[in-house]
A and B are shown apart, each in its own frame.
Chain A
Amino acid sequence: MSKQIHVPTVAELVAKGEKADVLFWVGCAGSFDERAQKITKAFVKILDSVGVKYAILGKEESCTGDPAKRAGNEFLFQMQAMANIATLNAYEITKIVTTCPHCFNTIKNEYPSLGGKYEVIHHTQLLQELIDEGKLTFGADPFKGKKITYHDSCYLGRANGVYDAPRRILEAMDAELVEMKRCGKSGLCCGAGGAQMFKDAEKGNKEINIERTEEAIETGASIISANCPFCTTMMGDGIKHANKEGEVEVLDLAELVAQAKDL
């Protein structure tokens, strides 16, 4: 099933005198990175199919400043943050959903003291809410008995204590969740956090994403589910390294939901 979806921008809605219930913060990876764009599109398809009144900032969106901050450049971070807050406040945004746990963490935790106070949720939380409210339903057990493992991203999990929402989405789709040895609070990083995504790793005896992907493969799952565009990339590279392409897939929960809904 595919139909043309129009993704509204906040500016467009304002011009029409309308207001979105929630702003979808796409993030840089979700906007530009080819792999992450698939997650963005899947999520938009879900929002559209459920009838959530959302909008994006479009060209007015800008990097949250997270990677600059984690790399130690507080100055650049605050410049970015202030500019974004000015945009968000001008549009009187109150609720934000994002498919990137790094954007989620930064806007939720680090923007308030700079004047940006919003209700911020991660897309897995929104999906779980929609499931709970009965607005998002799955017919005929889409993933019945399918072994799926789940990789906790650091910035959704440990950083913000969100462990249940993503797992409950898998449960709602009737998947057989097989946990990795290191999961939940003790989940292992994919290697991309703290601006590592944007540099080569320091010298060591193994790449972190390979260590983590091996652990995921050991579960025997055919799908590694994730909640972060960086994790998805890192684990995807891990799968290539292990020559498991075609056997094991790395998919964001939004992509799994879109698949289950045949969107």
Chain B
Amino acid sequence: MQYLEQLLFIIVLGVAVYFFVQKIKKIRRNIFLGKAEKVNDNKPERWKTMARVALGQSKMVVRPIAGIMHIIIYVGFVLINIEVLEIIIDGIFGTHRALSFLGPVYDAAIGFFEILAALVFIACVVFLGRRFIAKIPRFHSPEMKGWATADATYILVIEMVLMVALLKMNAVDQVLQAKGADHYIAAGSFPVSQYLTGLFTSFEIPALVVFERVFWWFHILGILFFLNYVPYSKHLHILLAFPNTWYSRLQPAGEFANMPEITNEVNLMLDPSKADPDMPPPEKFGANDVTDLGWTSIMGAYACTECGRCTSSCPASITGKKLSPRKIMMDTRDRAEELGKAKEVHGADHHDGKSLHDFISQEELLACTTCNACVEACPININPLEIIYQMRQYQTLEKSAMPTEWAMMNSNIENNQAPWQFSPSDRANWTKEI
């Protein structure tokens, strides 16, 4: 029976890890649907950014309540997972509390995890409250309907259930330890679950062992389920926040990349000696689909946890325009998933004939003031502006789709060297009036 349980555990663990790895591989493939980008300059600064922004959560605390609650869940998640390591060891080798040989350190750690578990539970309650009772507006934008809100709710509920399972498991364990049951060595300290022991003291040892096993299995199955839920969910940010911050832009936010293909074309016209005559003329300007974006933009889409800080600081969103930077990221992820799946079914060369413009309208693109508020607000340095901008370039350069006023502005710049219709010879007239 003992070995059967171990064998079962190993199989379950193996299957869970296998499916997780398969899904991650698909996500990796979808991310690399994007254009190759070489981002490896200034590595010390990149490590620093990752340490500060992802590990140190520096941008989360800009909004203190959500920031502190998030840090509790984050620290709880990272540290309580150390206990998962023990659970895995116990599961494979049939041991019980394998790390208890650490003595007082172990006791202190278990006690600390319990306090964290309780705090995580409370933080999840607060988060649910913010979402559904306080109804904070950024959680109720149009793009949050359906799956997005369900996803957020599932994550919080799963986390709460996992914390309860952990605490109940510890509570039964304590009772078993106190009753001197075989196998259940006295180890750990239980500052929180000691208050739950009352639920179990009236049971005999055999029943308690069943309870303990049920909670133990429930906890670990819950964690393995969650492991496999995460890559389908916005919760993937717990992994991708790290590479996303590492690869985030280091140059000034106002610097919009110059397109080298166009530089060559312009040189051919103005100064052919500077141009590379062998450079092929560009196939396409700007972004029509996710395949035209840099891969870091698609990674950003998978890293987005839909918190909506971007949207709540976007001047266009605030004033009721259709643009929402969060939706830009969600659409990019949805499109990458869709195209990835189509290619999986029909082969890598297949194209389904759709584009990112089927998800994001010109009205949204035109509403952007390029103010960088969304980029600044993102706790993990996602850059919705880059996507908006490249899609706008496509509309302007490939489709000549732009408001008449912009067409006029462009022709003024071309003919009068100013966006308005003034004569260039009047440019210095102001100097006569001073």
A residues at B contact (CB < 8 Å): 4-7, 9, 26, 28, 30-33, 37, 40-41, 44-45, 56, 58-59, 61-63, 65, 67-76, 78-83, 105, 108-110, 113-114, 154-155, 158-161, 182, 185-186, 188-189, 191-208, 211-212
Main secondary structure of the interface of B (DSSP, over half): helix
Min Cβ gap A6→B in Å is 8
Q: Are A73 and B322 in contact (CB under 8 A)?
A: no
CB of B6 within 8 Å of the partner chain: no
Query: Would you give 5 A-B contacts (Cβ < 8 Å), ordered by A?
Result: A31-B418, A79-B270, A82-B270, A202-B363, A204-B319
Which B-chain residue is minimally distant from A198 (CB atoms)? B409
CB neighbours of A113 from chain B (8 A):
258
A105 to B256 alpha-carbon distance, docked (Å): 10
Q: Are A154 and B370 in contact (CB under 8 A)?
A: yes
CB neighbours of B408 from chain A (8 A):
198
B402's contact among A5, A71, A155, A197, by CB below 8 Å, is which?
A: A71
Min Cβ gap A76→B in Å is 6
B residues at A contact (CB < 8 Å): 62, 251-256, 258-259, 262-263, 265-267, 269-271, 285-286, 313, 315-316, 318-323, 363, 366-373, 375-377, 389, 392-397, 402-403, 405-406, 408-410, 413-414, 417-420, 422, 424-428, 430-431, 433-434
CB neighbours of A4 from chain B (8 A):
434
Min Cβ gap B134→A in Å is 19
CB neighbours of B402 from chain A (8 A):
71-72
B419's contact among A59, A67, A72, by CB below 8 Å, is which?
A: A67
CB neighbours of A198 from chain B (8 A):
405-406, 408-409, 419
CB neighbours of A109 from chain B (8 A):
251-252, 254-255
Which A-chain residue is minimally distant from B317 (CB atoms)? A204
A47 to B389 alpha-carbon distance, docked (Å): 37
Q: Are B395 and A72 in contact (CB under 8 A)?
A: yes
Q: Are B319 and A70 in contact (CB under 8 A)?
A: no
Given A65-B413, A194-B368, A200-B405, A32 and B315 touching (CB < 8 A)?
no
CB neighbours of B375 from chain A (8 A):
158
Q: Are B254 and A7 in contact (CB under 8 A)?
A: no
Q: Are A202 and B322 in contact (CB under 8 A)?
A: yes
Given A5-B434, A32-B427, A198-B409, A211 and B315 touching (CB < 8 A)?
yes
CB neighbours of B321 from chain A (8 A):
201-204
Q: Are A41 and B433 in contact (CB under 8 A)?
A: yes
CB neighbours of A82 from chain B (8 A):
266-267, 270-271
A159 to B363 alpha-carbon distance, docked (Å): 24
Q: Are B252 and A71 in contact (CB under 8 A)?
A: no
Q: Are B369 and A208 in contact (CB under 8 A)?
A: yes
Q: Are A189 and B373 in contact (CB under 8 A)?
A: yes
B434's contact among A41, A83, A188, by CB below 8 Å, is which?
A: A41
CB neighbours of B316 from chain A (8 A):
202, 204, 208
CB neighbours of A207 from chain B (8 A):
319
Which B-chain residue is minimally distant from A8 (CB atoms)? B431
Q: Are B377 and A186 in contact (CB under 8 A)?
A: yes
Q: Are B371 and A110 in contact (CB under 8 A)?
A: no
Highest count of chain A CB atoms <10 Å: which of B251, B389, B424: B424
B254's contact among A33, A58, A159, by CB below 8 Å, is which?
A: A159
CB neighbours of A70 from chain B (8 A):
256, 370, 389
A243 to B262 alpha-carbon distance, docked (Å): 47
CB neighbours of A83 from chain B (8 A):
270
Which A-chain residue is minimally distant from B432 (CB atoms)? A7
Q: Are B414 and A76 in contact (CB under 8 A)?
A: yes
Q: Are A186 and B62 in contact (CB under 8 A)?
A: yes
Q: Are A73 and B410 in contact (CB under 8 A)?
A: yes
CB neighbours of B369 from chain A (8 A):
154, 189, 191-194, 196, 208
Known: A74-B258, A212-B315. 10 other contacts (CB 8 A): A26-B427, A31-B422, A32-B422, A56-B428, A73-B397, A76-B413, A78-B262, A193-B370, A201-B319, A204-B322
CB neighbours of B392 from chain A (8 A):
71-72
Given A71-B392, A211-B318, A158 and B253 touching (CB < 8 A)?
yes
Min Cβ gap B61→A in Å is 13
CB neighbours of B323 from chain A (8 A):
202
A70 to B430 alpha-carbon distance, docked (Å): 27
Given A109-B251, A186-B377, A198-B409, A72 and B417 touching (CB < 8 A)?
no
Min Cβ gap A92→B in Å is 18
Which A-chain residue is minimally distant from B404 (CB atoms)? A199
Q: Are A105 and B254 in contact (CB under 8 A)?
A: yes
Given A189-B369, A193-B370, A74 and B393 touching (CB < 8 A)?
yes
Q: State the 10 A-B residue pairs at the shortest beta-carbon distance, nearest first.
A: A159-B254, A72-B396, A205-B320, A194-B370, A109-B255, A204-B320, A189-B371, A62-B417, A154-B371, A28-B418
